[in-house]
Every structure is written in C-alpha cells, then in structure tokens.
Amino acid sequence: MPNITPFVPKEPLVKQPKKTRYSYSRLDKYTECGYRYKLVYEDKNYISEAGVAAAVGTLIHYIEESIANKIIAGEEIDYDALRKEMYEIDIPEKEPEYDADGNKKKGSEGGIYGVNRLQKMFQEEFFELDNNGTSYFTKCEEYRERGIYRLENYMKAHPELSIVAVEKEFTVEYKGNIIHGYIDRILFDSSTREYIIEDIKTKGKPFPEDKLKTPLQFVVYSLAVAKLYGLYGYPTRFNYDLPFCDMRQAAGTPGVMNRGFKKMDSIFAGIKAKDFVPHPSPLCHWCEFSPTNPNQPPKGKGLCPYYSLWSPGGSHKAWECDHKWEGNEAHEAIMEQFRVECGEPATPAQVVHDFDFSDEAEPPAEEKPKPAKKPKQPIGGRDPFGGLDF
C-alpha cells in the first residue's frame, strides 16, 4: 500500500494590523493638547519645526555627545576644535523622507548649524533678550567659554560615576504599545550599582517643582533602561542636565513609576478612544496651528480655530479664545466659520472627512533622530507643549 500523505489545507494567512510606534514626545503632545495630536498624527500634518530653540538644542546636544564619546573612549578632549566646530559647523537639512508608516527615515532629518549660521538664520530671535537678560547668542557664548567643560568636570568630581551610553536607541513595549526613542545619556554609579538617566535640556531656567514629580519622559526611559540592561527593577535616578543654567536637576519623587504608568494608561486610553479635545493654553503661541504664533508655517494655517489668544506681554488670558470647543457635533460648523474667517472657501470636503472619528489611526512616530558619527541630526525637537524639549 503506497504511503499517501493526507492533504492538509493551509491556514489562510491573516495579516496582523501593524502596531503604531510611539515616542515620548508624541505621548507628551497628547497630554498637552489632544487636538494638536490629532492634527499631527491622525491627520498627518507633518510640519517641520525649524525654530531657534530646536536649532540651538541640536547644536548643544551634538557638542555634549562628542564630549561624552571622548570620555567613554578615555581620549583627550580637544576643546579648541570643539569650540571652532560649535561656531562653524554647517550641515544642511535634508528633505524629510517617510516610510510607509509615515515615520521619518533615518538620515532624512534636519541639519546642524553652528553659531555663525544660526545668527543669520534667526537674526532677531537669536539675539532677543529673555526675562533674565540673556539671549541664545549670550548663552552660546557662555557655553563656549565655560559650559563646554561641565561634563568632564562633573565626571572628574564623581569618580564613582561612568558614562555607559549616549544617544542610546531603544524600542520597548508597554501593554502592547511600542515606544521608540533615544536616551541622551546613561550613567552608572558603581558605589550603589544604580543606573542614572540624564536628559539634556537647553532651557534658560530650571523646571518648576510640579514638573519634576512625575516626568513621563524619564518613566519611558526607565522602562527602556530596565529592558536594555536586563534589570529586575526600574531605575529611578533621573537628572535633567541644564547646560545653560549650569546645573543638574534631579527629577522623580517616590512612587514616580507607578504614577507614570497610570499617566501612560490614561494617555493610551485617550488616544484609542480618539478623545482629541483641544486644550488652549499659552503654548498655543508656539503651536504650528495657531494664528497667534508669529512664525506660523503656511501649512499650519486654517486648521485650528481653538487657539488661545494669549501672547507674551499681551493682555489676553490663556483661556480666552475666538472659538470655544463645543464638542464633536459642533466642530464642523466651527471649522467652516473659521475657514471663512481665514479667507478660505467654505465647506471643503476635507474638513468634514478630517474629523471622522471612526477613521483608524495610523500616525507616525515623532522621534529623536539618532546622531550619526559625523555631525548628527537634531535630537528631539522643539517641544512647545512641555516647554522646549531641548
């Protein structure tokens, strides 16, 4: 009797839906304004934010990373060469390219510009004095003279610390959600055998106390570090490194991880429920969709009628708006009126479609591009919704 293999029909291939990849800044944007999140990630209005804050942040991150890499390698740091580079570097921005999911392809992000070029690019803003009487120009000068030595001095003053990694890429899963990003700096304390996570911010002043209690960025990074190094617990020593303030600011109070996880649960639940309510605030002044933004890009116009009228030094309160959010049902009519006010044709088909909350979300991750060995691209970006991300 011949040995006949019975015919077994193949299981039909079921294509699994691709998981969205989140970044910390994407989650943060949702907490700051759900409507802006929708405009960017659901409606795919990707608008490059080429502000002075992002450009200066990119430059300082680049210099700090170069110094950290030298320290890791145990090599001498050529400060004269770095100072020269800080002023003369000029790596042009490339046209962003996106993959099928809308994620920016590596190497297609913005450029790195030294102080000489920044002065020409942001003529007024670069020299504008803030409340402390300093400008980006004076901060860069101060950094060139003194700030540039901070990291090496700090490491020398703390022999128990070592730099484990800089611009460390990670991908981590949290309750079925994929989070991807880059950590500015990871240190290790040999005296306590703890990891310390650091994030560089080129802010002009320290964070207020309430922003230090449960910093979501560090909660995400802690998840990542635990996975990267196979730790049993989550590291909770977090520092903001503020070179323009000449200080490190510790972040995270006891219970930070549990509070952070609750925050993340609520963010993911809101995104999945398509709860995209606008949150007008002083941050609208820097939002690409706000007519009150003095540098509003043309592509951002006519998309948000709910902006706050607040402006620095102005008379309007943060809650004052030309159009109040009145729920999803009223949105189309408000949009139509707004478009007329903006001088655009009323009733565009896209507006109606744009607010179809039944659409499946498939937004791209806004992520920190990983700097290459040579001059790298921006790390993070301007984050007008949590102060400046740099």
Binding site for ligand SF4 (CB under 6 A): 33, 35-36, 39, 278-280, 283-284, 287, 289-290, 304, 306-307
Q: Detail the DSSP E strand segments found in the chain.
A: 21-22, 90-91, 112-113, 161-174, 177-189, 194-200, 237-242, 247-251
Closest CB to ligand SF4 among 64 and 288? 288
Q: How far is the CB of 116 from ligand SF4 (least distance, A)?
A: 33
3-state helix, strand, coil in the chain (%, to 5): 35, 15, 50
Closest CB to ligand SF4 among 28 and 198? 28
Structure tokens given for 365: 């991750």
Q: How far is the CB of 162 from ligand SF4 (least distance, A)?
A: 41
Closest CB to ligand SF4 among 97 and 320? 320
Closest CB to ligand SF4 among 249 and 296? 296
Q: How far is the CB of 86 from ligand SF4 (least distance, A)?
A: 33
Closest CB to ligand SF4 among 42 and 64? 42
Q: How far is the CB of 33 from ligand SF4 (least distance, A)?
A: 3
Closest CB to ligand SF4 among 26 and 180? 26
Q: How far is the CB of 292 from ligand SF4 (least distance, A)?
A: 8
Amino acid at 150: R
Closest CB to ligand SF4 among 31 and 119? 31
Q: Name the DSSP letter for residue 375.
A: S
Amino acid at 38: K
Q: How far is the CB of 306 from ligand SF4 (least distance, A)?
A: 4
Q: How many residues does the chain have?
A: 390
Question: Which of 266-274's residues contact partners 24+ apart within 8 Å by CB, and which partners?
Answer: 267/27, 267/30, 267/31, 268/175, 268/177, 270/30, 270/34, 271/30, 271/37, 271/361, 274/38, 274/42, 274/357, 274/361
What is the C-alpha to C-alpha distance for residues 35 and 30, in angstroms, rounded to an integer?
A: 8
Closest CB to ligand SF4 among 47 and 155? 47
- The helix-helix angle for 24-32 and 216-228 (nearest 10°) equals 160
Q: How far is the CB of 325 from ligand SF4 (least distance, A)?
A: 8
What is the C-alpha to C-alpha distance for residues 194 and 196, in angstroms, rounded to an integer?
A: 6
> Which residues touch 337 (CB under 8 Å, ≥6 apart)?
305, 323
Of 286, 289, 264, residue with least CA distance to 278 = 289
Q: How far is the CB of 239 from ligand SF4 (least distance, A)?
A: 29
